[in-house]
Amino acid sequence: MNDQYPKEQQTSGRILIDLFTSLDGVAQGPGGTDEDTSGGFRFSGWQAGYPSTGVGAEIEKGMRGLDALLLGRRTYDIFASYWPHHTEGESGDIGTLFNRVPKYVATRDADLALGWEGGGSTRVGGDLAAEVAAMRAAHREVHVIGSIDFVHTLLAEGLFDEVNLWVYPLLLGAGKKVFDDNALPSVLHLLEPPFTDEAGVTLLRYGRTDRVPEVGTFE
């Protein structure tokens, strides 16, 4: 579907943001009870109530072009403690892939020890725009998974090409939203018809354009 992107976005690699979100846009702590309880968030681990073979298959399909990971510090630490030990069984293909590809970690901690072996881990965040440009030059598909705090920075600076949202049919009320008040106003376009599994979880894939929202009055 590369022909759906503006021509200037086809000359280099792409930055893809992959998020699990509630229907009211909360993307905080979907994967485990201790993943992210900051701000008094009560529902960390909310994804557990929706086991689905359909979601797993679609996630694996979406990862086929991935050749680098770009993660926030919290998500990196979670992945680094989990995926090196899960390269067999149901999630084996993803575990093997994640362990093999280069990892980029957005953190202000210059002394952070990056111990995830495999493709190697590199700290970024000194000049994010330049570092993202270098990633585009070096990779075909750089996936940002979870990392909601870091995603807010990418959305505010327009440093992404695609947003893939797994929308779950539940309302969480409070929590970190996918799009906060600092998101750069922009027009997205739907890349393909939505996919919905047996649990009502829906995948929405949006591509970024250079357009900004237009305003007017209906007559």
pLDDT at 14: 96
Cα dist from 36 to 45, 150, 154, 160, 214, whole Å: 9, 14, 20, 24, 36
Higher-pLDDT residue of 19, 50? 19
Mean pLDDT of 70-75: 94
Quick check: helix, strand or coil at residue 110? coil
Beta-carbon count within 10 A of 38 CB: 13
Instruction: Tell me how many degrees the CA angle 178-63-173 measures, rounded to the nearest 5.
Output: 20
pLDDT at 115: 81
CA distance 39 to 29: 12
Cα dist from 137 to 14, 132, 134, 161, whole Å: 9, 9, 5, 14
Q: With 60 as the cut, is the pLDDT of residue 201 above it?
A: yes
Q: With 70 as the cut, is the pLDDT of residue 9 above it?
A: no
Beta bridge partners of 177: 26
pLDDT at 12: 83
Q: What is the pLDDT of residues 78-108, one digit of tens each?
A: 999 988 887 765 556 888 999 999 999 998 8
- Nearby residues of 130 by Cβ (< 8 Å), 6 or more positions away: none
pLDDT at 153: 96
DSSP code at position 38? G
Q: Is the dihedral of CA 23, 193, 198, 66 positive or negative?
A: negative
Q: Where are the alpha helices (DSSP H) in the chain?
A: 53-62, 73-82, 92-100, 128-138, 148-157
pLDDT at 113: 77
pLDDT at 3: 38
Q: With 60 as the cut, is the pLDDT of residue 5 above it?
A: no
